[in-house]
Every structure is written in structure tokens, then in C-alpha cells.
Amino acid sequence: MEFGTIEREIYIEATPELVFDVVSSPDHLKQWWPDDARYEPVPGSAGEIVFGDCDAGGKRVAFTVVDARPPQTFSFRWTHPAGEVAAAGNSLLVTFELTPSGCGTLLRMTETGFREMGWEAALLEEQYREHLIGWNNFLPRLAPYVAMLRVPS
């Protein structure tokens, strides 16, 4: 695994068409990620996702759909500066790939662009994280070591 890339895979007992809808439509996105989502789920659509209440310290984050091919692929870029066109180097690229598997769907997610962007995005994520359960492979080996350390604040 590249540290500049996050890769995840999860099996879902639902059809690819249904899963595609859940990962791509703004109404569904709001259920599993931001508090609000404004974009059209079609390639090139530029919009935003919102975390919290913008009148009370919330945050708007740029969101641009890159690819939408139901029911196989949905990808978008986010975290580019407002007003800038999303491109490699100014944003993170998230790609969902859906494959039929048994009676359900294998959903594969990759997020890339961290190395190009530096740590800003990681810090942004940290504000909204809900759990700290660690990475699948690298972290378990490090966890006992890290537990002995104090993370500087």
C-alpha cells in the first residue's frame, strides 16, 4: 500500500445499481458523509459539500464530479480551493469501483493525492473523524510502539 493512497474494499449485500446510487447521489452522500451536498452526479459538475453549520463554524469544501458510469464507476475530486478548477495537485481524487459479487457488490474505494497536497487534507479529515481504528496492515505492527509514545499536540 502506498502511504499517499488509501485503498479500501467492502462487500455489500445490495445490487451494484443500488450501491452506485448510494455512493453518487447527493441525497445519499449526506447520509454517510457531509451534512449537506450540492452537486449533480454527472461528470464535470462542480459543487460543494458542507460540514456542520456554515453560520456556526462549519466548513464548505469544493467537490467536483470526475466520472459517473453507473453502475461501475463514480469518482470525484474534493478539497480544491474555492474558485479553482479541480485537477491533480490541488485536490484529492476519490474513486469508487463496483463489481458484482455473488448476490451483492464488491465496493472498492481509493483516495489519492495526499503526497501532492501535503497534510492539509489529513488535518481537515481529522476534524471530522469519528473513530480511530487504524489501518489494515501497516498500523497494527506500529500500534504497540505508538502506544508508548505521546503525540505532541
Give contact residues for other proteins (rule: CB under 8 A): 2-4, 6, 8, 10, 12-15, 18-19, 22-23, 28, 31-33, 105, 107, 109, 111, 114-115, 118-123, 125-126, 128-136, 138-139, 141-142, 145-146, 149-152
Least Å distance, CB 13 to other proteins, is 5
Please classify residue 6 by burial: count the beta carbons closer than 10 Å to its beta carbon, then call 0-12 exposed, 13-18 middle and 19+ buried.
Answer: middle
Q: What distance in Å separates the CA atoms of residue 35 and residue 125, rounded to the nearest whole number?
A: 14
Grid cell of 121 as nine digits: 487534507
Minimum gap (Å) between residue 54 Cβ and other proteins: 21
Half-sphere exposure of 148 (CA within 13 A, CB side): 3
Q: Which is nearer to other proteins, 3 or 102 (CB)?
A: 3
Question: Shortest gap between Cβ of 123 and other proteins (angstroms)?
Answer: 7
3-class DSSP state for residue 102? coil
> Is residue 68 a contact partner of residue 42, using CB atoms and an 8 Å limit?
yes
Between 86 and 117, name the residue whose CB sits nearer to other proteins.
117
